[in-house]
Amino acid sequence: MSAHSHSASPQAGQRPNSYRSGPDARGRFGLHGGQFVAETLMPLVHELEAAWAEAKADPEFHAEMQRHLATYVGRPSPLYYAERLTEHLRAGARKAGRDGGAKIYLKREELNHTGSHKVNNVLGQIMLARRMGKQRIIAETGAGQHGVATATLCARFGLDCVVYMGAVDVERQMPNVFRMRMLGATVVPVESGSRTLKDAMNEAMRDWVTNVDSTFYCIGTVAGMHPYPAMVRDFQSIIGNETREQMLAAEGRLPDSLIACIGGGSNAMGLFHPFLDDPEVAIYGVEAAGHGISSGMHAASIAGGRPGVLHGNRTYLLMDADGQITEAHSISAGLDYPGIGPEHAWLHDVGRVNYLSATDDEALAAFQLLTRLEGIIPALEPSHAIARVIELAPQMPQDHLMVVSLSGRGDKDVPQVAEMLGPNLDGNTGGARA
C-alpha cells in the first residue's frame, strides 16, 4: 500500500547509538519529519532554522529565558509525591492478592502561569520572534491552552496576536476564547474543512504564506515542518531536565518509568527526551482512544493510523484508504488531532517508547479519582495518562518510581465534565475515598 509500510521501514529495529541525536540535517527522525511545505514558506523556514541555531548557541538567550521562566512562568514546577493515589493503588493491589504498587510522582506543569506546559514553548518562540524582529504572532489552538499561552506572552511583550481556532472548538471552549480576547488577541473561528484543530493549522499556514515578512508562526506542539518539532522539544525539555534533578534530590536515583499523554506530544517529548538514553527508565506515551480504537472514533495516530504527510512532516496519521485525512475524536479537545509529532513516530518505530491509549471513559474516571484523592483537578488531557497509571502502577513493585506529567489543570474542563456527570455528580464513577 504505502511506499513505506511501517514494519518494512529501514529504521525499524535498528538501534541507534543515541536516541537523542535527532533530527538529521534534513529534519528527519528516521522515516518521519522533514520539510513538506509550499515554496513560498521555504525561505522563511530556513530563516527560522538559522535564527534558532544562533539563539541556541547564545548564552544571553538562555539567561533571559531562565529569568522569565523563574519570575513569570513560575518554574521550576514541583515534583510532587502523590501519596494518597499511591496508597489507593497499593490497597487495590493487596485486594487482588499482590504486593505491588509503584510510588507515583506528579510533575506539576499545571502550576505554570496560564495553567499548562504550553507556556514553556511559547516563551521560547516569542523570544525568538523578538530576536528576529517579528511583530505579528500567529498560532493555532485546539482546546485553547496554546492559544491562551500565546495571547499571554504577546500581551507581556506587546506583540500583535492572531489565534486560529476551529469553529467547533470555539463553541466547545468559550471560556478560553474569552480569555484570549481579554488578553488582546484576535481569535479567528475557522469554518473550513472539519472546523477543528487540523483546519486551524491549515488556516494558520495560509496566513503565514500570505504575511511572510511580518509574521512569526508559533506552533504549539512537536509537529509541523523542521525545525519546529526539534525546537519545541528543546523548549519543553525543561520538564524532563527538572524531573531528573528533582528525582535525584528526592530519591537519590532516576525514576523507573515515565508516563505522559500525547496529542501532538509536546509535554510527553519534554518529559521523555532527557531520559531517552537511560535504558533503565521505561517510557510510556498515552494516546486518546476516544470511544475505543475499534470504534474508529479516536485520536490515536500510532495505534490506529499509518505513515503519511501532513502539515509539513511525515508521521502516523489518521486517514482513509485514499490518503484523505479523517477526523479525530477525543473527550479532550487538546488531544483531538489526527497526527502525532514525528519524533514520537520514530520512537515508536525503534521501540524506545511504548505507546498505549486510554478511552474517554477511562480518562473521565481518572479525572475524578485524582481530584478526590489528591485535591488536584487535572485537565482531561493528562487524565489519559493517569488512567494508564491506575492500570500499570499496581503491577510494579513498591520501590518502582513512576513519574506522570500533569500537563495542565482541569478548570477549563469543569463545565464539560459537569455536563457529562450531572451537576450532582449522579454519574460519578470515581468514588474513591480510599
Partner 1 sequence: MSAVEAKMAAAAPAQPGAATGVARIDARFAACKAEGRAALVTFLTAGDPDFDASVGIISALPAAGADVIEIGMPFTDPMADGPSIQAAGLRALKAGQTQIRTLELVRRFREIDQATPIILMGYYNPIYVYGVERFLADARAAGVDGLIVVDLPPEEDDELCLPALQAGLAFIRLATPTTDDVRLPVVLANTAGFVYYVSITGITGSATPDFGQVGAAIARIKQHTRLPVAVGFGVKNAEHAAAVAATGADGVVVGSALVDRIRASLDGDGRATAATHDAVISLVGELARGVRAGRA
C-beta closer to partner 1: residue 1 or 63: 1
C-beta closer to partner 1: residue 272 or 346: 346
Amino acid identity of residue 240, one-letter, is G
Rounded to whole angstroms, the Cα distance separating 2 from 181 reads 43
What is the closest distance, in whole angstroms, from the C-beta atom of residue 285 to partner 1 in the complex?
23
Which alpha helices (DSSP H) does 188-281 contain, by range? 197-210, 228-236, 238-251, 266-272
Amino acid identity of residue 134, one-letter, is K
Active-site residue, selected from the candidate residues 49, 109, 110, 140:
140
CB 417, CB 364: distance < 8 Å: yes
Active site (annotated) includes residue 134: no
Calculate the alpha carbon distances from 59 to 54, 64, 431 in Å.
Answer: 10, 9, 50
Name residues whose C-beta falls within 8 Å of residue 264's C-beta, 6 or more positions apart in sequence.
Answer: 220, 221, 222, 223, 337, 339, 340, 341
| Chain center to CA of 349 | 19
What is the closest distance, in whole angstroms, from the C-beta atom of residue 393 to partner 1 in the complex?
39
Active-site residue, selected from the candidate residues 118, 134, 198, 412:
118
CB 412, CB 143: distance < 8 Å: yes
What is the closest distance, in whole angstroms, from the C-beta atom of residue 165 to partner 1 in the complex?
16
- CA-based Rg of the chain, rounded to a whole angstrom? 20
C-beta closer to partner 1: residue 7 or 324: 324
Lookup result for grid cell 472546523? 195
Residue 175 preceded by cis peptide, ω within 30? no
C-beta closer to partner 1: residue 42 or 414: 42
Residue whose C-alpha is closest to residue 145's, from 170, 118, 164 = 118
Active site (annotated) includes residue 412: no
- DSSP letter assigned to residue 135: -
At residue 132's C-alpha, the angle toward residues 130 and 134, to 5°, is 65
Active-site residue, selected from the candidate residues 362, 405, 407, 412:
407
Strand 79-81's sheet: what is its strand order? 79-81, 103-108, 401-406, 257-262, 282-290, 354-359
What is the closest distance, in whole angstroms, from the C-beta atom of residue 211 to partner 1 in the complex?
8
Write out the three cell numbers for 163.
489565534
C-beta closer to partner 1: residue 212 or 434: 212
Active site (annotated) includes residue 140: yes
What is the closest distance, in whole angstroms, from the C-beta atom of residue 36 to partner 1 in the complex?
5
| Binding residues for partner 1 (CB under 8 A) | 1-3, 26, 34-44, 192-194, 198-199, 202, 205-206, 209-212, 306, 308-312, 314, 317, 319, 321-325
What is the closest distance, in whole angstroms, from the C-beta atom of residue 326 to partner 1 in the complex?
8
C-beta closer to partner 1: residue 297 or 309: 309
| Residues with active-site annotation | 118, 140, 407
